[in-house]
Amino acid sequence: MAEKLTNAQIIETLKQLNALELNALVKEVEKEFGVTAAAAVAAGAPAEEEGPVKKGPSEVSLILKGIGTAGKVGVIKAVQSITGLGLMDAKKLVDGAPCAIKEKISPVEAEAYKKTLADTGAEVEIK
């Protein structure tokens, strides 16, 4: 029988994953166990009593403005993994910059994708 991993070992392994790998892992866990990773809503006083809450947009678009100076290959691979497109389609999308990579996504998801693309040297904007 395989040795059971400790929580600390699992956390250390998770720290080594990038945002896309973590996103894929969360989806697999949700599918395997029939759960969702949505944050639990705490029962308590209504939000109006806490004062006005600033809300941003619920859906945003991820715009590729340019490929930067680091190199096109890394940007193409990142776009391919984000969009699920084939290699040639991802290349066409990158060559057509500025263009929308993903539309109508959550701001949190957009930030994760932006970080991934920025790590490849791409110039990215969230609208």
User: How do residues 65-98 score in pLDDT, each as one tens digit?
Assistant: 988 777 789 889 988 988 888 999 999 999 998 9
Q: Please, which residues bridge with residue 64 across strands?
A: 99, 124
Q: What is the pTM of this model?
A: 0.55
- Residue with more model confidence, 100 or 27: 100
The token duo for 47 is 């939000």
- Closest C-alpha among 65, 59, 120, 114 to residue 93: 65
Domain residues of the chain, as ranges? 60-126
Instruction: Output the CA angle 20-21-23, nearest 5 degrees.
Output: 65
Tens of pLDDT, residue by residue over 19-48, are 778 778 888 887 888 877 665 445 555 555
Tokens found for residue 16? 């080594």
Contact 78, 116 (CB under 8 A): yes
Could you tell me which of 59, 68, 72, 66 has the C-alpha nearest to residue 102? 59
- CATH 3.20.20.70 for domain 60-126, yes or no, is no
Taking residues 93-107, report their average pLDDT.
89
